[in-house]
Each structure stands twice: as C-alpha cells, then as structure tokens.
Structure 1
Amino acid sequence: MSSSPTTSESALAESLRPRLHNTLQPLLNQASPCLPALEKTCQKILSLTGGLTGADRLAQIISRDPALSCRVLQISNSIAYSPQQVITSIPHAVSWLGLDTVRSIVTASQLVEQLSQWPNQQRIVSGVIARALVAAVHANELGMALEYPSLSQLFSATLLYSIGDLAIASQSQDLYASYRKIPLTAKTPAARLLEETQLFGAPRLRIAQALGQMWALPPFVVELFAIEWHPSQERWGSGQEMFKGLVIGCSSLIDVMTGPPSPAIMEAVKRGLLAGSGLPSHLFGDILGCALDRGKQLIHSAGLPFDLWEDPVEQEPSGLIPVPPPVEISPVTAMPQKRGPSAIETNPLETLQTLQTALREAKDINTLLSTLVQALHRDGGFSRVALALLNPNNTDHLVGRLLLGVEEPALYLDSLSGSLTKDHPHFLQLMKRSDAVWIEDFALPLGNPINPKFLRTWHPGSAIIAPLRVGTRPIGMLYCDNGPIPRQVQQKDYHAFQLFFGQTTLSINRLAGIL
C-alpha cells in the first residue's frame, strides 16, 4: 500500500512543517520520518479490518498468539456479549463475536504493541488509543443498526481518525495535555480552532491530513481530516454522508465524553448523531449504552485505561437498559433470628397477592428490586437476601447494593463486589443463565471457582443465586440463603423463591415496556 506522495501532497507537508511548533516539525519530515512504527501499524490496521480473511483463517492466526487468544476469549465470555454458554475455543469465539469484532480485538493489539515505543508518553498515548477504540466501537454499533454495508471500513476509518492525536501525543506529552485543556477556555468551534493553531502552529486535523498523505492512507480516510464538521439536525442522505457522520460524530462524542465536562456540547453531539441516523431515540440510547460497554470490554482486555476528565468515578451518560439505570439503594439490615413457618408456607395466596400489589405500585426498577428483596426476607423465609447490580456502563463490574439479614452489611456487600472475570467467575457464568440456580452444597467442587473472600465472609452451606434481566440483558443477580453452615436451603425454599422471582421478572419487563 505504501507509495510516494504526489507533488501536491508533498506540498501540504512542506508548507505546514515550518509553521509547526519545533517539537512537532519532525512529524512532517518526509526525508527522515520520525514515526515509522506508527505508519506501519496504520497500514496493518487497514489490512486487518479491510481484508476478506475468512473465519477459519482468522482463528488460526489468533490461536498462534497466546496473549491475543486470551483477549478474544475474555471478551467473548463477557456479559457485554451475553453468551449463554462458556466459550473455550478460538473458532467458537470467532463465530460467536463475528469477524468485525474479532478484527477489532486484533487491531487493538496492533496499536498496543506500539506503546513500548514511547516509554515517557505511554500513559497519555494509551489514553488516545483507548478513546480511538471506543469511538470505533460506537461507529461500528451504530453502523450495524443502520445496515451500513462496510462495517470493517467504518471501524478502521474511525480508528485512524486519531492518527494526528497519536502523533502529537507521542512527540510531546505537554503539548497534547495543553490541547486537551482547550475546551476549558475556548467555548466555540472557531475559538477552539484558533487555540489549536496557536498551540501547534496549525490545526490538529490539518496535521493529520498531511500525515495521512505522507503515509499513503486511502483517500476515504485522508478526506475526513478536511471536513469542517459541526453537529446538525439533518438526516444523512447518502452512504457517504452516513460514513462521514458516523466516523466524525462518534469520534467527537468520545472526545467530549472524556474531556472537560460540557453538558451542552455533549447534547449537541448526541443530537447530531441522533438526527443524522434517524434512529428512534430509545433505540439510539440503547445502542450508545451497549457500544460504551463493549468498547470498555475491548480496551480493558488490552490493558488500556478509559480515563474521564480528572475524575476516577465513571459517569453514566446513557442507560444500558431501556429504563433509568439502577441507583444506590440505602442498605437495610435485619439481625438473623430463629423463624417459624414463612408467610408463603402458611398463607400463600394472600402473600402473593400482597407482593403483586406492591410490584404494581412500583414506579421504577429500583423499587421493584427493593420490594423483592424485602419480600424474600420477610415473607419467603430466607435468612439472608442480597442484591448485586452490574455497572450499567461496565458489565464486568458487579456492585453489592442491598442486603437483609446480617449485622455488618458493608463487609458482605463488599465481598459480592468486583470484576466478574477476575474476582467472581462463578457468578459470571450463573448470570448468563435465564433461570435461578440452587447450589445445594458449597463444599462440593463447582464448575468455576468461588471467590475465597466471599466464602470466608458468608460461610454458606447452600444458596439460591438468580440472574436479573431486563428482557435478555443482564442487570445483576440475587443471592438467598438460610444463614451460614450448618443451615441449608431446602426444596420448599427453592419453590418459594421461584414464585417471588417469577412475579418480579414479569413486573420488571412490563415496567421496561417489553411485555
């Protein structure tokens, strides 16, 4: 794909180079290019995402690389892709995820390999790569919904739209850090462009255009850097308009999301994407939530950070499910106590009617789940009942939210929290199911290991664990038992749980508009 730039292309680089900040001038030195590794990686990205490699061939390539194989299997088994079974082979992972997703994982590894080239700028460069990957996943997910004919080209173009940022960050960490702060002082596109020019000596996208020409990238990529794009309220007409709108719009969305907080700009970018795509607003919101989740799974598997602006707490710009995402529920505690027959045993009809009334009166999912937890503890006869929910924008992260029946809830909730892939692989597999699981004896070997911290804290003999879903999308799990060893969950307890759980599942889906 490499070729010599034309005279006009050379003229662009030559005209820009003297005007650039002295630390950036080597970027456009055509006689002695300073980033050959990045240039080579860009060419690899195009060949990986644009080729017609078959699934079998791609599986063979990945299988020869142990690190890459681990990344592919980790993502294919994540809740973000919701498989109902454990995927243990690369061919199965490729067929499950699809060629475009697997190519994106391979592409991420190509970029991450280059981080060693910039040891002093590794943190800031890794952030640029992470944002580019998440933007590319957004473009891919929206393109899929719009039935864009070449998702691979869309992904690669969105990824390569960041080459100017990568080049600048690799050359000067200080300059790039100053660029990221521009939105704090420049409130209009014209003001931001002016500050960019004063900082770098030329607009950032103009530098990217010159690099794209020098590296002989395809015209459909280079042309993107010449577009003065502003969010509009018009529907994309042609396939070319859709391509440009998705690449630039998704890149802008992630740039704003991870930059200085600006709700007005964020909403403008989202409105532009929504109007251009013509998608229903609820579907558009679902796609953005899913794309953010899948993008994070991708970059986490590559060992990259997704940093928000000087804020270690992740914001939640859009719900992952078609209802407001769950919020913190204040823990309520109740001391373990000896119990007689439960209400569901002594008066089943009235107990279920009381539950149904409470569920109908609930206005949101938080209230529904709180109602279920309290009913299981009060009327279902379970000594300990816990609720844990997934982070709506990172479904690898489980958070303990509500617990009844213990003296010190914080310790127990903490033992339920953490990464599903690293801390709770057994919970991960259970949450992929659609039914409640009765673990009759924790002392017996299980398919996936139970976190030792959880076992030390709860000391359970047996328990019921059930996945919580809105439609087919997991949102968390329920845990119920009758106390620590030697107390056990019985068959009658399992039947009682099913009655409570079935009623709540129907109510959740009605509230979400699925039923």
Structure 2
Amino acid sequence: MSKKPENNFDAWLQRLNQEDMPIFGRTVQEIVSVAENSDSSVSELTRVVLQDTAMTAKVLKLANTAFYNPSNKSISTISRAIMLMGFDKVRAITLTVALVESIVRSANRDLLMAELARSLHAATQARSMAEKMGDKSSEEIFVATLLHNIGELAFWCFAKQEGEALKAEIKKGVPREEAEQKVLGFPLRKLTQRLVQDWHLNSLLEEALDPKKKVGKRGQLINISYDLAAAAEKGWQSEEVADTVREYSRISGFGRDEIQEMIQGNALEAARVSRTYGVSKVANIIPIPYKPGKDDRRVSKQTDGSMIDTVEEFEPKTSEIPQYNPLLQLDILREMTALLFEKPNFNVLLEMTLEGIYRGVGMDRTLFALVSPDHQYLNARFVLGFERTKMLERFKIFIASGRRNLFKTVLDNNLSVWIGQPQSSVADLVSDEIKELVGGDEFFVSPIIVSGKTIGLFYCDRIPSGRDMDQMSFENFENFARHASLGLEHITRLNKS
C-alpha cells in the first residue's frame, strides 16, 4: 500500500470534528471543561449528566457500588452523588461512562476494548501513584491519563476501510506506529495531540504530550503510567515493566520493591473498576499478575488475534424522556430531607428538587426561575431537559408592578397552577407571548416561598414530547415545590443563627 498524502491528517481532523465525532466530542469536552474550571458549580456537572438518561442511570448505579460508596448510603440524585463522593470523583466517573458508551457501540469494538483497557489500567496506576506522592488532585491525573490515547479511541470509533487496512498490517506483525504511518500517513499519537488541543480537553495532558515542552512530575507520571499499561501486556516480568518501575522510583523517591507491589495491586483494582463500569471484557484484557513461574500475561486472544468477546454489555440507551417514577420520587424526597441534616446547601436543594421533578415526576423540561433583586424580572436560574440553553436564555419575564401577567399573578398570590386545565383560575392570563416562549399552553407552575417572601418559582412541562399532563403528576410537582420551600426556610434560619 502506498503512503497516504500529508493532507490525510487534516482530512481525519475535519471528519472527526465535523462529521462523525461532534456528539462524542462535545460530551467529552463538556465533562472535561467542568473539570478544568475551578469555578464550575455542581449544577453544571449535574446538567451534563442529566442531559443523557442512560448516562444518569449508569453514574448513579456506579455511585451505589461498594467500590465508590463504601459507606453504603443510598444515592438517588446526581447532586447527592457529588456531595457524598466529591466533585472530582463524579467527573471522572462521568467521563469514563461517556467513553465506554461510545466505544461499545462501534463496529471496531475489539480494538477499542483493548485501547480502553490500556487507558483504564494506566489511569488507575496514575491515580494511585499520585495519591501516594501526596498529589491533592489525583482525579485530575486520572482524567488526563484516561484521555492519553483519545486519538486512537476516536479513530477506531469511526474507522472503516482504513481501519481494516491498519488491522491487517498489525496482524502481519508490523510495529504499530510503523503500520499507522504506512496506512494513514501519520501516527495516531499525533491525532491525540491535536484533538487534545482542538477540544481543549486537558492542559495537563497537553503538556505531557508535547515533546517540545519540559514535562513536570505530574505530566511524567501520566506518560510513565501509560507506558506501564502497555508494558504489562508483554508480561509483568518483562524488561519494559522494570523500566517503568525505575522511572516511577526516580520521580517519586519510593523503592522499587514497594512500587512493584503497588502496581500489581493496582492492576487488580483496574480490573475490578472495569467490571464496575459494566465492561467485563476490559477486565479480562487488563494483564493481571500471576504467581512467579506461571505465565503472567492475561490477555485473552483468539488465534486470529482478535479479543475474545466476553463483554458484559453496557446498558443500552433507555428512552431519552424521563418517565413517571413514584419510587424515585420517594428516594429523592428522602435525600432532600437528609441534605438538611448533613450539609445544608441552598443551591444543592434546588438542584435536587429540579431532579426530582424532572426524573421522578417525568417531565421534558424543568426550571427554577428567581425573582431579580429589583423585583422587575423573573429569570431562569437552573434548567434541566430539552432545549435547556434556549430556556435559560429566553425565560426572562417582566413582572414589574402594574403589569398583570400569569407569572406575576402566581408569585403575588402564591398559586400552584396547572395551566391548560379547563378549570384553571388563571387560564385567561396565558398570552401568545408565553405560548411562544415555551412552545405550548400546558404546564405546571408553583412559587417558592422563604420567610414569607416569594423568591421565585418552579416550572415544568411535557410540551416537546407531546405527552399528557395529569392530576397525579401535578400533585407530586406541588409536593416537591412545598418540600423545597420548607427546606430553604430551614437553611435560611440556620444561616441566620
């Protein structure tokens, strides 16, 4: 096969950014951007997770495993998961879920599983060593190491003819990078470097991958851990593993025997973590150390070189529309109550309430709008569900005195109303402007009252899906709004005392 032209690299970049990868790219970029921004709030990470119901279910399932939740406290909301487990840990879980979900649906699953196994193994090794070295941001190192081969993952997610040609070269025994250069005209590590830059994924990883920069200890830790994961595939007694142990010792100051014992334990942990994520195939690929004298490589392969398919399927995507779930409502109401005794927080309580209405009552869109300090406007503050950005930007209602409208009437009279119900007392106040704003004429609204003052309201609907609203849903919606008001009242009193 002739060498590909130089512009094949640019063609692949364009393809990944504009055609095949935008959803994968945006999801990963959103998650990592929350991780990179120290000012990011819990609500931003919550929003990223809740915009995908399959991801929400997976993250909460992981949050309730013994591995991530040794205290065995029940977790039903993303907000509570962040509160109990920590912001960084939930970000790392979410990113891993996003990568796994993209990978298991690809035609090149076998190679992708091998890449993911190496990434998870390396990330687990890096995090453990970072913790041992006293790094206070070990989850950041986990994320950076997990993305170390994002170019390879991206390529194999969408590779077709070129992917088949590359697999054929690798099967012949051609060294990987040489095969990539021959088939593609560039090494895939170059694609990783560029995607990390273009998607602004992780500044620490960008430093680690740049051959022109002097890499600090944290960046070196990422590279050594990735080298170790690759070396272990050749056997735990190999010279390549010994080289990485020496490198770990050099940057950490720990003895080689101590490091050797630690990294072998980390390999077992990486396999356990993989099973926790629902991908047993990855766990089977990660090399697990055996007792001396036995074959210490545990990379299960068929005779044709492909990985044996023992994957425990990652859960298929459920409906993107949250369904009415009374048991989940009870769980979230319990968590709202627990919050008031554990770590009372105004914003977290509001976010839990929104999540309860959105996921528990089963709405398409849910928002909390806050009255402005000058009492002139009602502005959307938190939004979950369909058209989130549009609602956040456009839901700005003028409520100044003297102008009668639906939302002002709800606030002034402390009314919980079902707009669209024939007997609604304020049905005549639903203007064409409001219908245009929300895209329909049936929704629930309930005020939030704290210390006798109405500070804002909750709004929810099923307009995008066209599903019917019903009396039970309205009563449950009111119940969440009442609990929120009582909780906020409690937090306000605590803050004053």
TM-score using structure 1 length: 0.45
TM-score using structure 2 length: 0.47
